[in-house]
Structure 1
Amino acid sequence: MRIIGITGGIASGKSTVTDILKKRFNYIVIDADQLARQAVEPESPGLKKIIMAFGETVIDENGELNRSMLGEIIANNDHARTKLNAMIHPEVKKLYDQQISFYRKSGIPTVFYDCPLLFETNLQNTVDETILVVADKEIRIERIMERDNLTREQAIRRIEMQMSDEEKIALADTIIENNGSMNDLLITINVYFSRRKLLVR
């Protein structure tokens, strides 16, 4: 089984690409964000670690993680963000390994792994190939401002919190540019498939 990691910075259009892979090409896509949510479900080891590190204030009245509260804590605190990642990523990795084992036993030939922090967490060596979705900074800023109703300064801050595209490009096997229309993106993805000679499930 071939595992292809797909990543990209905020507002690059990575989610759009993965939607195309799932809905248009019928590929299996493992979603790291979904695994991260599973990793902090009530009573989970991951959530217990977060409570110990950040206190009961990050838990809502239903015993679930208060993501907005936790987000405020780590937004301007690199140390807190690093500590959170160190707690969550091992739990996500366990869930990821379980899914990979299932699909491997099922005989699935190709699986994509949608992982926003693929390079930041040095997971590129756990996949066979990597795809990086990129878009020009100004386009990303406009997308964030429109999508999240943020100011330009807030949008820039969101982008600068992440590893730069330049650093990611140096690590990626394939670059998919997403600066144009949906049709432009579809053409780019089709070119990728034709070059890689990947088979649709």
Structure 2
Amino acid sequence: MKIIGLTGGVGSGKTQILEYLNNKYGATICQTDALAKKLQKKGGRCYDAIVEHFGEEILNEKGELNREKLGSIAFTNVEQLSVLNRIVHPVVKEEVQKIIAKEERKNTNLLIIESAVLIEDHYEEFCDELWYVYVKDEIRKKRLFYARGYEAAKVDSIIAAQPPKDIYMKHCDRVIDNNGVFAETQIQLDNIIADL
């Protein structure tokens, strides 16, 4: 089984790439963001520690985490964000390793782990390759504005919080240029898969 780590800044088109790899090559997709959300639900492995640290005022009337309230605390305070990351990231990584073991038993050919923190959390420990989806900042800003309706200030703060391009370039084995039309990206992906 080939295990690929896929990363890139917000608005770089990772979702579309994952869908293509799943549809054309039957790749199994694991998105750490979705995994983290599941683990933060009431009864999930991260829930109690988050509530214990951030207090019950981050809960909604159903006792679930109010993600906007939590986000407004964590994303405006570096220390609070690092506490949240210390609670969530190691547990997510453990869950990813369980998924890898399960997929190995199923004889899966290609497993793609998509994560914003592949490099910081050292996913190269169990990935065969790390791939970086590269898109210029101004194109990402346009995509986020039109596709998700994000305000310019929000887009700027999200992009500023992510590692710069050269960090990705230094740590990733392959770069997928997704600046143009998706047909061009598909050709790159087909060539990479053929090369694996």
- Common fold, TM-score beyond 0.5? yes
Displacement after TM superposition at 1:166 (Å): 1.2
Task: Tell me the amino acid that sits aligned with residue 77 of structure 1.
Answer: N
1:163 counterpart residue number: 163
Which letter maps to 1:50?
I
Amino acid at match of 1:176: I
Alpha-carbon distance in 2 for matches of 1:175, 1:34:
24
Structure 2, unaligned stretches of length 5 or more?
none
- SS of residue matched to 2:25: coil
**Aligned counterparts, 1:42-191, within 5 A:** 42-191=42-191
Q: Report which stretch shifted further, 86-95 or 148-157.
A: 148-157
Measured after TM superposition, the shift of residue 194 of structure 1 is: 2.2
In angstroms, what is the RMSD of aligned CA positions? 1.4
Distance in 2, Cα, partners of 1:97 & 1:121: 13
Identity of paired residues, percent?
27
Farther-moved stretch of structure 1 (118-127 vs 41-50): 118-127
Asked if structure 1 preserves the Cα contact closer than 8 Å seen for 2:26 and 2:110, the reply is no
Aligned-pair distance for 1:21?
A: 1.0
State the 1:122 CA deviation.
2.1
Cα separation, 2, equivalents of 1:151 and 1:100: 37
Report the AA paired with residue 161 of structure 2: M
Structure 1 pair 149/110, CA: closer, same or farther in 2 (3 Å)? closer
Report deviation, 1:69.
0.9
CA distance in 1, matches of 2:77, 2:101: 36
List aligned pairs for 1:5-24, cutoff 5 A: 5-24=5-24
- How many aligned positions are there? 196
Shift of 1:24: 2.5
Structure 1: gaps spanning 5 or more residues: 197-201
> Is the 2:176–2:188 Cα contact (8 Å) retained in structure 1?
yes
Aligned residue number for residue 195 of structure 2: 195
Q: Which amino acid aligns with 2:72?
A: E
Give the Cα separation in 1 of the matches to 2:29 and 2:148.
25
